[in-house]
Amino acid sequence: MVCGAKVVVTGDGFVPGERSVIIMNHRTRMDWMFLWNCLLRYSYLRLEKICLKSSLKSIPGFGWAMQVAAFVFIQRKWEDDKSHFEKMLDYFCDIHEPLQLLIFPEGTDLTDNTKARSNEFAEKNGLKKYEYVLHPRTTGFTFVVERLREGGSGGDFNIMFASLKVFLRIDDNLTAL
């Protein structure tokens, strides 16, 4: 239980000590925090790096801590991010630590505004509109997978899909979010 919420994590298993890319949908602003419980129990939390928007590094205290932890801050514009991704991924491969990189392929959390943008993208590109998730941004994800295949450890790494189900306890009843 975290803040009165029961968290159920489903998906592929974590393999402690192996390089991994963890893929999650970004339903809320705090879903990454719920994943920490799983990493604390089954893996090494210190090895987790999150790919997140660069404005978050300006948050007093937390932003500094995320920078020290070598989180990957991006502008969400490929022209601006490609060289930074190259440098960070090369660094992670060079130090031979079993990186666990958390990526939210949707690029942002689910809100009415982001859902409307996702639906516009779907219409423009002849794609299905989703109800509970956003259309993913694929350029950075594809680059990360290819770069990690090329670098260190013989190019071996795991791709894990994590799905969170969060329940809030309200008057001794569990309600799914």
Question: Three-state SS across 3-34?
Answer: CCEEEEEEECCCCCCCCEEEEECCCCCCHHHH
In a domain, 168, yes or no: no
In a domain, 81, yes or no: yes
Q: Which of 20-29, 61-70, 99-108 shows the lowest mean pLDDT across its residues?
A: 20-29
Q: Mean pLDDT over residues 61-83, rounded?
A: 92
pLDDT computed for residue 10 by the predictor: 67
In a domain, 88, yes or no: yes
pTM for this one? 0.76
Phi first, then psi: what are they for 138, rounded to 5°? -100, -20
In a domain, 148, yes or no: yes
Share of the chain above pLDDT 90, in %: 27
Instruction: Give yes or no for residue 7 having a pLDDT over 80.
Output: no
More confident residue, 49 or 36: 49
* Cα Rg of the chain, angstroms: 17
In a domain, 131, yes or no: yes
In a domain, 169, yes or no: no
Q: Using N-to-C axis directions, what is the helix angle for 139-150 and 78-94, rounded to 10°?
A: 30
CA–CA distance, 72 with 90 (Å, rounded to integer): 12
Instruction: Give yes or no for residue 161 having a pLDDT over 80.
Output: no
pLDDT tens digit sequence for 106-159: 877 788 998 999 999 999 999 999 988 888 888 888 888 888 877 655 555 666
In a domain, 28, yes or no: yes
Number of domains present in the structure of the chain? 1
In a domain, 177, yes or no: no
CA–CA distance, 30 with 27 (Å, rounded to integer): 8
Instruction: Give yes or no for residue 169 having a pLDDT over 50.
Output: no
Residue 107: domain span: 12-161
